[in-house]
Amino acid sequence: MIPLRDENPITHPPIVTVTLIILNCLVFLYQVSLGPAEERFVLAYAAVPAELFHLESGIGDPWIPAWMTVFTSMFLHGSWLHLGGNMLYLWIFGDNIEDVMGHGRFILFYLLTGIVAVFSHAFAAPESTMPMIGASGAISGVLGAYLLLFPSARVRVLFFFGFFIRTIYVPAAIVLGLWIVLQVFNAAFNLGGEGGGVAWFAHVGGFLAGLVLIKIFQRPMRAHRLWI
């Protein structure tokens, strides 16, 4: 089941959401333009748990301090499919969360849930030397917030059942509920934190952070005219 779009109107343009999508795409285009040097670039800016906890050093080039990779890793992706999947989810669900927060709050929310996601993965595998990249941790926070605020929103999905393929509308609670159940299931069976090259604990951690932080970052209704 792949989400295609939601029926959940917004009242303000999703400037931050669109900017994040553009930035992620530009960074990836730069990555692939590097050719053989791409791997070195990714290693330099990816988050490595063992380096974050000072258990290892020198895994990537020391271009920036290890703590900064918590942020830079959010803008790196491993493939077109990795990028496309993440940006699709951000495009569908990010605009509504930005709409209820305002631009400034949404940026902070996005980065904070991304930080929680990185460290959720790092604590699950503190000795890991495998680089972690991708926006999915921060986007997981967006999904958690969306599930809490808009569980009944209609989401158009591409539904697969064997050779049967069609588009249908289902509540966001089903789409995102099934998504997080899958993440938790995979995390439980990959306690080392690196199952299949996917940071499952980052997804779970980011999602939970979104559930918790949305009530803090949600813009009070009385401040509607002060939307920033």
pLDDT given at position 190: 75
Question: Partners of 132 in the beta sheet?
Answer: 47
Read off the pLDDT of residues 18-58 as tens digits, 9 standing for 90 and up: 999 999 999 999 999 999 999 999 999 999 998 888 755 55
For residue 35, the SS3 value is helix
pLDDT given at position 224: 44
Q: Taking 80 as the threshold, does the pLDDT of residue 125 lie above it?
A: yes
Q: Residue 96 and residue 14: Cα distance in Å, rounded?
A: 8
Read off the pLDDT of residues 139-175 as tens digits, 9 standing for 90 and up: 999 999 999 999 999 999 998 877 788 899 999 999 9
**Residues in Cβ contact with 199 at an 8 Å cutoff, skipping those fewer than 6 apart:** 117, 121, 132, 134, 136, 137, 193
pLDDT given at position 228: 43
Q: Residue 159 and residue 83: Cα distance in Å, rounded?
A: 21
Give 172: exposed, middle or buried? Use CB within 10 Å, 0-12, 13-18, 19+: buried
The structural domains of the chain, with segments of one domain joined by +, span 2-226
Confidence category of residue 63, pLDDT binned at 50, 70, 90? low
pTM recorded for the entire structure: 0.89
Residue range 2-226, CATH number = 1.20.1540.10
